Amino acid sequence: MNALWWLTGRVLVNSVRRALQSPTRLIGVLFLVAWWFSIVGANFFRYERRGAGAIEALPSEVYPILRLVVIGGFLVVLVLRLLMSFRPPGNYQGADADVLFSTPVNPKAVLLHRFVIDYVFTLLFPLIVLLFGGRQTWRGFEFLARGVENPALVGRMALGAFLLLSLFGVAASYAIGLAINRDTPGGRRARRWFAILLGAAGAYLLGAAAGAVRSEDSLAAFLALADSWFARVLLFPVTAAADMALGLAEGRAADAWLGLGVLVGGSAALIWAARRQAAWLYDMAARQIGGVQARREAQQRGDMFSIYGLYARQGKLKPRRPPFIYGWRAKGAWAIVWREAVLQTRAFGAMMLMMLVVLAFLSALPFIAEDERNAGAVFFLPVHLLMVFSFALAVAQGGFLETLRRTDVQKPLPFSMSTLCLMDILGKSLLPAVMGVASGLMLLVGMWRTPDYGLAALLSFPALACAVVAVQLIVILNFPHVDDPTQRGFRGMVQFLAGAIAVGPSVVVAIIFALLDIPLTFAAVLSLLFSAGVVGVSAAVCGPLYARFNPAD
């Protein structure tokens, strides 16, 4: 155990030392410190006592609401921890597998070491809230405890409830994680059942919450839900923590102490259960480490294709063959568009479907809200555009990194560099354009009272998506070094800016037309023409840049 704590200490000290050695990292550290003092620190130190003491006691009718808020907060803490059960407990790196796991250090000691670190990290979250909220947050706590008989004890119990619930959550994620992540038929079965149980509980809770929202007395319905068998049995750690936190203030001392007992006892039992399974820790951690590390590195580079490549190697990504793509007999340079259609569908198809579901929900909101005048249209149009913009940006960022990596395969093809760039842009624009069309159709249906909005979206969104993708190639060819963190950071900023520039004129024209009461469809036609120009110019600019690009530089 000493070796593990020594390692943790040295890594912490050395990371500070290293940060101070490199000028680029030093700038980052100084920026962080300056930011803390200017924003967070200022909020913390400029506390004014204005208004303090205005209310002497908390009205009794507030307690039920407070109880619901506390239960909701504690539920989030517990669910987040339980969701972490789906990966092996603790964070591990390659060195752990290659160096630590083959030493005689007891796996139980390693487990306990990671458990403590995980627990401390869990507690950092409220600390961050406190830092951002500064003294105002603290004032809020003071205000809630005002008028209570023994405020100090109440405060300690509330804090203790959070600490113990976090302990329970971490212990549960360790005990469950070690049981369901085993690479055995039993482990896989347990994982499936745990997922079903969690999903069913979540569905029941959401259904019950929706029912409570629609009932005449929502507060009473929510309170009944909080006191139901479901909450008392399945969410017993949450209700125990809520009882512990508020029991004394509400005059239910016995419940408060019982809650404390349940959390302490439950945590102890779970830690014991986790320790009993420690022998499985190395195996599941070692199996995960390689994939996790490669994924982290790819994420740092914004390299979605590498991540999907990893998924493919793990068998998580199936080679779908959509007939409408396979039926297309592309010729010449159009083969690049066909290749992209295949790759994009595999890599970004699921992401697009998820975003479309969100957009469909947004489009259905006017129906749900029975918005007679379609007043929400003004809100939904930019939201849809933002989603299409984000998707185009994500596809372009990941896709063009792949273009850089595959330079040796693409450049020898018998086409001019500008043609290659144009086809690459068109290929990578396919999915964002499809999303633009889908988004436009949804707006057309969802805002049927104002078809002008939907029609404008249907015309302009696909073209704007293409323009956003096109300008990303210019950016990426100007900052092509994917592993250089400085270029990476700068590229990220410029990519967003370039996208905004590609979309900006269309948005400005749309706003002007809307103000002048000119149908937005005309603005959309202008936007379409402008976007086509952006794509053409981008391809022409990128040709020479791509010709000069050498991956070995």
Q: How many Å separate Cα 157 from the centre of its chain?
A: 32
- Asked if 106 touches another protein (CB under 8 A), the answer is yes
Exactly one of 99, 195, 220, 378 binds another protein (CB under 8 A); which one?
99
From residue 181 to residue 210, what is the string marking binding to another protein with x (rule CB under 8 A)?
A: --xx--------------------------
| Contact between 223 and 246 (Cβ < 8 Å) | no
DSSP per-residue string spanning 255-303? HHHHHHHHHHHHHHHHHHHHHHTGGGHHHHHHHHHHHHHHHHHHHHHT-
For 24-115, strand residue ranges (E) read none
Cβ count within 10 A of residue 372:
8
- Asked if 102 touches another protein (CB under 8 A), the answer is yes
* Six-digit token string for 498: 């370039």
Of the pair 14, 38, the CB lying nearest another protein is at 14
Can you tell me the distance from the alpha carbon of 116 to that of 102, in angstroms, rounded to the nearest whole number?
22
Report the nearest approach of another protein to the CB of residue 117 (Å): 15
Can you tell me the distance from the alpha carbon of 273 to that of 115, in angstroms, rounded to the nearest whole number?
13
CA angle, 233 as apex, 228 and 236 as ends, to 5°? 100
- Asked if 100 touches another protein (CB under 8 A), the answer is yes
Sign, Cα dihedral of 300, 301, 305, 310? negative
| Contact between 334 and 430 (Cβ < 8 Å) | no
Exactly one of 15, 60, 150, 486 binds another protein (CB under 8 A); which one?
15
| Contact between 522 and 513 (Cβ < 8 Å) | yes
Count of residues that bind another protein according to CB under 8 A? 34
From residue 35 to residue 74, what is the string marking binding to another protein with x (rule CB under 8 A)?
A: ----------------------------------------
* Six-digit token string for 311: 């998924």
Residue type at position 37: F
- Asked if 339 touches another protein (CB under 8 A), the answer is no
- Asked if 31 touches another protein (CB under 8 A), the answer is no
From residue 257 to residue 296, what is the string marking binding to another protein with x (rule CB under 8 A)?
A: ----------------------xx-xx--xx-x---x---
Report the nearest approach of another protein to the CB of residue 335 (Å): 32
Q: Which stretch binds another protein (CB under 8 A): 12-20, 236-244, 345-353, 424-432?
A: 12-20
Cβ count within 10 A of residue 373:
9
Of the pair 102, 550, the CB lying nearest another protein is at 102
Of the pair 3, 196, the CB lying nearest another protein is at 3
Report the nearest approach of another protein to the CB of residue 315 (Å): 8
H and E: helices and strands count for the chain: 22, 0
- Asked if 311 touches another protein (CB under 8 A), the answer is no
Report the nearest approach of another protein to the CB of residue 14 (Å): 4
Q: Which residues bind another protein (CB under 8 A)?
A: 2-3, 6-7, 10-11, 14-15, 18, 93-95, 97-107, 183-184, 279-280, 282-283, 286-287, 289, 293, 315
